[in-house]
Structure 1
Amino acid sequence: MSGPVKDQAHSRLGRMVNGIEETAIAVLLGLMTLVTFVNVVLRYGFNSSLIWGLELTLVLFAWLVLFGISYAFKITAHLGVDALLNAVSSRPRRVLSLLAAVVCLVYAALMLKGAWDYWAPFAGLDATTGRWFPTGFADSRDQAWYETEQIPMPDWLRFIEPIFNQGESYEKLPRFIPYFMLPFGCALILFRILQASWRVLTGQQESLIVSHEAEDAVEDVAALNRED
């Protein structure tokens, strides 16, 4: 385990977030594989299909992408161009890295605001006011009755109907459930960028992006050639 990842393990919150991300990624991949496999078997073996299978797979994939973005910050796997950083000495490199961290934090905060403002009406909640950063809350049109196209409503979720749909029954899964991943995923991304920024500030790593996939691949090929 690398140094930055090992340091995160000492934080109780970090361990909890790690567990959520790693478990969610594994479950999402497993569910996507299972639904797709079952659909293929039904289509070619029984001339049938799960009519909601494609929509569910798309939702799971969208969730997987957002979890993957925050998880990549955790393991410092995001790719980036560091030619400028490598061209300067350590002190300017640290300043540039901190500047990049501030830009990323602002961008993540804007994403979180936008994600909340988009999701909130679907959950019957209020969106925030303010063009760039939240300045309060404004009454939003209640869209909690909006449903997905094909995904059926599980019976074990019927308890939410009096809360979100004024007692009316959902025929399909309400949209605020799959859409919840938008603000949750953006909050995870913001949390991970805060962690990475702190590591840069405290000198535990040089930049937010430390993955060099191309260089690693070249080194792997060179090592294989040496072995031959």
Structure 2
Amino acid sequence: MSAHREPSRSALGRVVNEFEESAIALLLGLMTIVTFVNVVLRYVFNASLIWGLEVTLILFAWLVIFGVSYCIKVTAHLGVDAVTNLFSPRGRKVLALISAACCIAYGVLLLKGAWDYWAPFAALQPTEGRWFPLGFTTGVRDRAFYTTDQVPMPEIFRWLEPLINYGDEYEKLPRVIPYAILPVGAALILFRFIQATVGIVNGTRSSMIASHEAEDAIEELAAARAGKD
């Protein structure tokens, strides 16, 4: 079974789809442009964008995290169903729901951990509790003054200075911006897990992960050989 796109029936699902697809396309485009410009500057003008590599790494990290949640949606993650296929359809659905419950629990923990890591960089408080959020801690030293190594501060983000940096100017891009993908990405992953679980309950989806690229490749190879014969 190859990756496929399920129709988004809810308005929220359609909005998330558009957001993810637009973000992925934008990130790919920006990575290509920055890398191309840097190559031209280096080999033609013997110069370079000092911040080019760091920006590309940030964009790539964002792309990967967006890709994780989007691949849950289109079932592009690889799955192993050698054991579940031994069960009846009802048994497979029960196992799929157990798997979905585990994924949702993991998504909640991932979202908590992502928020707790990012919050101090935004001058916010992480949550209490080792496993589940039990409120917000107090007295945690913020890290809003932490900046990237080489990326200059864009003027469009100057509004952050009085908000989280006590009015002090940033010379470089604050880490709160690139790190923001952590809670955003974790929230998207949890949303996709819940969405997939609803699909399993409704019968529109058979499992959390349903992509079998190896099987598809073997089938394509067999078809190609059969065509030659």
Question: TM-score category by the smaller chain?
Answer: over 0.9
Q: Deviations over 1:152-179 (max 9, x none)?
A: 0011221221111111100000000000
In the alignment, structure 2 segments of 5+ residues that lack a partner are none
Q: Deviations over 1:120-161 (max 9, x none)?
A: 000000000000000000122111111011110011221221
Q: Deviations over 1:88-141 (max 9, x none)?
A: 111211111111001111111101000000000000000000000000001221
Runs of 4+ in 1 over 4 A off after TM superposition: none
Quote the Cα distance in structure 1 between the aligned partners of 2:89 and 2:6: 22
User: In the alignment, is the contact (CA less than 8 A) between 1:127 and 1:137 conserved in 2?
Assistant: yes
Task: Indicate the SS of the match to 1:83.
Answer: coil
Counterpart residue number, 2:222: 222
The structure-2 alpha-carbon separation of the partners of 1:162 and 1:106, relative to structure 1 and needing over 3 Å to count, comes to same
Q: What is the deviation of 1:4?
A: 6.3
User: In the alignment, is the contact (CA less than 8 A) between 2:4 and 2:75 conserved in 1?
Assistant: no
Quote the Cα distance in structure 2 between the aligned partners of 1:36 and 1:4: 31
Q: Deviations over 1:50-74 (max 9, x none)?
A: 1111111111011001100000011
Quote the Cα distance in structure 1 between the aligned partners of 2:59 and 2:52: 11
Counterpart residue number, 1:205: 205
The structure-2 alpha-carbon separation of the partners of 1:43 and 1:13, relative to structure 1 and needing over 3 Å to count, comes to same
* Alignment root-mean-square deviation, CA: 1.3
Q: Select the structure that is richer in helix.
A: 1
User: In the alignment, is the contact (CA less than 8 A) between 1:4 and 1:205 conserved in 2?
Assistant: no
| Worse-superposed segment, 176-185 or 196-205 | 196-205
Greater relative CO, 1 or 2 (CA 8 Å, sep 6+)? 2
> What TM-score results when the alignment is normalised by the length of structure 2?
0.95
> What TM-score results when the alignment is normalised by the length of structure 1?
0.95
Q: How do 1:57-72 and structure 2 match up within 5 A?
A: 57-72=56-71
Q: How do 1:30-45 and structure 2 match up within 5 A?
A: 30-45=29-44
Quote the Cα distance in structure 2 between the aligned partners of 1:106 and 1:142: 28
In the alignment, structure 1 segments of 5+ residues that lack a partner are none
Q: What is the deviation of 1:220?
A: 1.5
- Corresponding pairs, count: 225
Q: Which amino acid aligns with 1:129?
A: E
Q: How do 1:1-228 and structure 2 match up within 5 A?
A: 5-6=6-7, 8=8, 10-139=9-138, 140-228=140-228
Quote the Cα distance in structure 1 between the aligned partners of 2:63 and 2:5: 23
User: In the alignment, is the contact (CA less than 8 A) between 2:121 and 2:146 conserved in 1?
Assistant: yes
